[in-house]
A and B are shown apart, each in its own frame.
Chain A
Amino acid sequence: MRKVTGQAQYIDDLCFPGMLYGATVRNPARRGKIRGIVFEPGVPWDEFTIVTAKDIPGKNYVALILNDQPFLAGEITEHGEEAVVLLAHPDRYLVEEARRRVRIDVEPLPCIDSLDDSLAKKEIIWGDDNIFKSYLMNKGDVDRGFAAADLIVEGEYETGAQEQLYIENNGMIAVANPTDGVTVWGSMQCPYYVHKALIPLFGLPPEKIRIIQMETGGGFGGKEEYPSMIAGHAAVLAWKSGRPVKLIYDRAEDMTATTKRHPSRTRHRTGVTRDGKLVAMEIDFDIDGGAYATLSAVVLSRGTIHAAGPYSCPHVRIRSRVAATTYPPHGAFRGFGAPQSIFALERQMNKVAAALNLPPEEFRRRNFLHEGQTTATGQIIREKVDLDDLLFRALEQSHYYHHRETFDRANSTSTLKRGIGFATFMHGAGFTGSGEVTLSSVVTVEATAEGKVRILAASTEIGQGTNTIFSQIAADALRIDYSLIELAQPDTATVPNSGPTVASRTVMVVGKLVEAACIGLKQMLVSSGLLEQPYTSQEFAAAAAEYVHTLGPLRASGEYKPPPNVFWNDETYQGDAYGAYAWAVYVAMVTVDPVTYEVRVDDFVAMQEIGKVIHPVMAMGQIEGGVAQAIGFALYERVAWKNGRMANGQMTNYIMPTSADLPPIRVYFAENPYAHGPSGAKGIGELPMDGVAPAILNAIEHATGVAFNQIPLVPELVMEALAS
């Protein structure tokens, strides 16, 4: 409601009395030794609060996984967008001017410009070998599998960096002093990540750090880890100046300095029998991590686990690495490694089908995972899964056979080349393996004095509908009217740690805790004798209000418990990788213009099974938005790298899809309730990012006969191939 009237408060809409404006001065060069910092004349520097690495009150690292990234570069700077100096001043225009008058003198050190150079150890820039993390996953005996194969097909696939491009730029406001501690308001996905990062930065006890999420204008993973950096910067400036500090990025800074999707390269070697059965898959999956570790190890993990897709194959070996390069660190982005490895797999599956002389749909049918079979991690699929049905329905909705035949006939004579293609895939919801157990998330619900029920959770609303869905889950569990539910603002001082808002876990994992907490609260109310079942919403509210007045606080919590029979081995990467998977078949229809080399998506069918659909309008909105973002990933969104930095950090020349660029996105759900999700729901948010790009490139191959294996497939690349 407040979003359509302009009353919703985002971080940049807040103003504090006496507030200073902050700015970040970044390394102007690339990797190097910082020789000196010069504050050029012509700026009233004595009016400024100036912070460098020396001013950090506690530890100079952004606490996350490896703690290798500093808040501010000290002696060495590892990449061209690294923060070195922070400034604050009451005049936001003067602070901008001053930023340009700080000269940072850097003595160059050798750089690593590519994944290949990093893997070849051309220069060691991180650890002993440039490798942040590697995995080796083995199922069966892949050598024996290849020995039994009639045909072996190889392929190599690449994906580029992608900017999340939420429309609200990053920003934070901090108040900090030794007496009250540190409070930060801002745009973020994960208040408790920021909380964790600021504890060592200040060396303060956890209760002295308070993080509050404001309305957040999109995240997509881009506000998962980098907000910790910005919050730290704002807070250190506030600590030194003794005044509130607002630090808001402009679009260029947000695009160039913050994290993007990891570029990737995947090599496939696939062994099949003559009758089209997979017998061996060997996959090498490498991604470019940039200069610091951030969340790369976890992104790699998800990409690795998804690399072999929804197919049954007895012998699989997957090797994966994330390597350091001299670029700003890459990080979380919707899909988290899976869109990269699934792109490669679904192009490879078409290549193998063609080599076997089988239609791509028939080859997949012969290898789909079924209930009782095992994934690449050896996870036994215990739920009902019917990929044949999803495929049948997706092809039917898209009139696949009709279009395929029509285009085949017309393309030989027509100027415009048309094609249709698809991809089949899955996405695991929640944290990988033992991740959810380690997180052990908590949700609390409490009755208010008016008899309403307030949900206290750290899960953030970032546009994906957390608030609506949680309210609906709570209303359903309590059997009361939706209007009696309210949500507490995510504030680490008042809400428990429900884990980060990532990994398609909010509805399936945290939503289940909302449900459990509500059932607990209802039981307390009933056993107090104040409420009798069945009850109306009014009776419930009256009873809850009376409880609070006469007996005191009425609260109940839900704590994460893993579903039964779930086992995971972190050493061998074998076992139950995810509690549940969403399954999907996406179909794209395209036109390729051989004169302008432009590719247009004309129609898109997204068919998926996500357990029970809790809120159809929001679920459709999630899928449509994800498909749109993934069309950008496939065709438009190219990060132009120049001297280790993004050269097109503007919406003018980094092209995301507009309303005029998109086809009809037709969304269909098959329902198969999941026993351990609230009302049977599974995760949904990341799924639509996965299968779009390969479906489009499969369609382009159908249209042109050219096998493109690199995205974003911008017109220049189409031209190179079609012209030659």
Chain B
Amino acid sequence: MSRLLDVLREDLRLTGVKEGCGEGECGACSVLIDGELVNSCLVPLLQVEGASITTIEGVAIDGKLHAVQQAFLDCGGAQCGICTPGMILAAMALLDQNPHPSLEQIKEGLAGNLCRCTGYMRIFEAVVHAGRE
């Protein structure tokens, strides 16, 4: 059984979904399945029959960036960029449930997505910023 990650990356060429660890620790392969944040490396294809899946490629509409994407650009939330697609989806899932999260809620909400470059501070700022939009 193929992993959802491989089907997205290889069959559908949605390479914005990244593989960081292959064991559900780093969150680089995060996608939204029916709006819920999931590590696609842990999902067998079978489980998503009929589900709606959002990858980073589906976030900007007609070339217009989503508020979270714009906030990541403005606040320096992306450095090397490899965790960024997953991180943006995690931030969107968080803001979807809670449009004005506290710093503690942001930290908790993003704790499944690892970033080695930023120390997370600019990412927190981006989430706060996007929440205000």
Instruction: Give every chain A residue within 8 A of B59 (Cβ-Cβ).
Output: 5-6
The interface-forming segment of A150-158, A203-211, A618-626 is: A618-626
Are the C-beta atoms of B79 and A464 separated by less than 8 Å? yes
Are the C-beta atoms of A651 and B69 separated by less than 8 Å? no
A628 to B117, CA, bound (A): 9
Name A3's contact: one of B20, B78, B119, B121 (CB within 8 Å): B78
Q: How large is the interface on B (under 10, 10 to 19, 20 to 34, 35 or more residues)?
A: 35 or more
A455 to B115, CA, bound (A): 29
Q: How large is the interface on A (under 10, 10 to 19, 20 to 34, 35 or more residues)?
A: 35 or more
Name A12's contact: one of B19, B23, B25 (CB within 8 Å): B19
B116: Cβ under 8 A from any A Cβ:
yes
Q: Other than A164-B116, A464-B117, A651-B26, give 5 A-B pairs with Cβ distance below 8 A.
A: A13-B9, A168-B80, A620-B122, A628-B120, A659-B111
Are the C-beta atoms of B120 and A165 separated by less than 8 Å? no
A618 to B74, CA, bound (A): 11
A462: Cβ under 8 A from any B Cβ:
yes
Instruction: Give every chain B residue within 8 A of A168 (Cβ-Cβ).
Output: 18, 20, 80, 82
The interface-forming segment of A213-221, A563-571, A671-679 is: A213-221
The chain B residue with its CB closest to the CB of A617 is B76
A167 to B21, CA, bound (A): 8
* 24 contacts across the A-B interface (CB closer than 8 A): A4-B69, A4-B81, A5-B16, A5-B65, A5-B69, A6-B59, A10-B82, A166-B80, A167-B26, A167-B82, A167-B114, A167-B116, A168-B80, A217-B82, A218-B82, A251-B21, A618-B76, A621-B121, A624-B122, A625-B118, A628-B118, A651-B26, A652-B25, A657-B119
Give the most central of B17, B57, B73, B114: most A CB within 10 Å: B114
B57 to chain A, nearest CB (A): 5
Known contacts A168-B18, A617-B122: does B55 contact A6 (CB below 8 Å)? yes
A631 to chain B, nearest CB (A): 9
Are the C-beta atoms of A650 and B117 separated by less than 8 Å? no
A362: Cβ under 8 A from any B Cβ:
no
Are the C-beta atoms of A9 and B15 separated by less than 8 Å? yes
Are the C-beta atoms of A6 and B15 separated by less than 8 Å? yes
B6-52, CB < 8 A from A: 9, 14-23, 25-26, 28
Give the most central of B23, B25, B76, B80: most A CB within 10 Å: B80
Instruction: Give every chain A residue within 8 A of B23 (Cβ-Cβ).
Output: 251, 650-652
A463: Cβ under 8 A from any B Cβ:
yes
Are the C-beta atoms of A628 and B25 separated by less than 8 Å? no
The chain B residue with its CB closest to the CB of A619 is B76
B75: Cβ under 8 A from any A Cβ:
yes
Are the C-beta atoms of A659 and B110 separated by less than 8 Å? yes
Are the C-beta atoms of A217 and B119 separated by less than 8 Å? no
A660 to B23, CA, bound (A): 20
A723: Cβ under 8 A from any B Cβ:
no
Are the C-beta atoms of A5 and B56 separated by less than 8 Å? yes
Instruction: Give every chain A residue within 8 A of B28 (Cβ-Cβ).
Output: 167
B62: Cβ under 8 A from any A Cβ:
no
B75 to chain A, nearest CB (A): 7
B106-133, CB < 8 A from A: 106-108, 110-124
B47 to chain A, nearest CB (A): 20
Are the C-beta atoms of A167 and B15 separated by less than 8 Å? no
Q: Closest 5 interchain pairs by CB?
A: A6-B16, A463-B80, A217-B82, A3-B81, A628-B119
Give the most central of A6, A617, A618, A665: most B CB within 10 Å: A6
Are the C-beta atoms of A218 and B122 separated by less than 8 Å? no
Instruction: Give every chain A residue within 8 A of B114 (Cβ-Cβ).
Output: 167, 651, 656, 658
Instruction: Give every chain B residue within 8 A of A650 (Cβ-Cβ).
Output: 21, 23, 25
Are the C-beta atoms of B107 and A660 separated by less than 8 Å? yes
A88 to chain B, nearest CB (A): 18
The chain A residue with its CB closest to the CB of B104 is A660
Complex interface bits, A220-247 against B, C-beta within 8 A gives 1, otherwise 0: 1000000000000000000000000000
Are the C-beta atoms of A4 and B22 separated by less than 8 Å? no
Instruction: Give every chain A residue within 8 A of B84 (Cβ-Cβ).
Output: 3-4
A355: Cβ under 8 A from any B Cβ:
no
Instruction: Give every chain B residue within 8 A of A2 (Cβ-Cβ).
Output: 81
A1 to B19, CA, bound (A): 20
A124-169, CB < 8 A from B: 164-169
A626 to B121, CA, bound (A): 12
A659 to B119, CA, bound (A): 8
A683 to chain B, nearest CB (A): 17
A465: Cβ under 8 A from any B Cβ:
yes
Are the C-beta atoms of B20 and A659 separated by less than 8 Å? no
A432: Cβ under 8 A from any B Cβ:
no
Are the C-beta atoms of B21 and A659 separated by less than 8 Å? no
B85 to chain A, nearest CB (A): 5
B88: Cβ under 8 A from any A Cβ:
yes
A651-699, CB < 8 A from B: 651-652, 656-660, 662, 664-665
B83: Cβ under 8 A from any A Cβ:
yes
A541-596, CB < 8 A from B: none
B80-110, CB < 8 A from A: 80-85, 88, 106-108, 110
Are the C-beta atoms of A4 and B116 separated by less than 8 Å? no
A177-213, CB < 8 A from B: none
Are the C-beta atoms of B106 and A659 separated by less than 8 Å? yes
B132 to chain A, nearest CB (A): 18
Known contacts A218-B117, A652-B25, A660-B107: does B75 contact A617 (CB below 8 Å)? yes
A283: Cβ under 8 A from any B Cβ:
no
Name A624's contact: one of B85, B110, B121 (CB within 8 Å): B121
A629: Cβ under 8 A from any B Cβ:
yes
A627: Cβ under 8 A from any B Cβ:
yes
A2 to B114, CA, bound (A): 20
A7: Cβ under 8 A from any B Cβ:
yes
A624 to B77, CA, bound (A): 12
A650 to chain B, nearest CB (A): 6
B4 to chain A, nearest CB (A): 16
Known contacts A4-B84, A465-B79, A625-B79: does B118 contact A658 (CB below 8 Å)? no
A33-65, CB < 8 A from B: none
The chain B residue with its CB closest to the CB of A651 is B25
A606-638, CB < 8 A from B: 617-618, 620-621, 624-629
Are the C-beta atoms of B20 and A624 separated by less than 8 Å? no
Instruction: Give every chain A residue within 8 A of B56 (Cβ-Cβ).
Output: 4-6
A166 to B1, CA, bound (A): 29
Are the C-beta atoms of A167 and B25 separated by less than 8 Å? no
Instruction: Give every chain B residue within 8 A of A217 (Cβ-Cβ).
Output: 18, 80-82
B116 to chain A, nearest CB (A): 5
A677 to chain B, nearest CB (A): 21
The chain A residue with its CB closest to the CB of B74 is A617
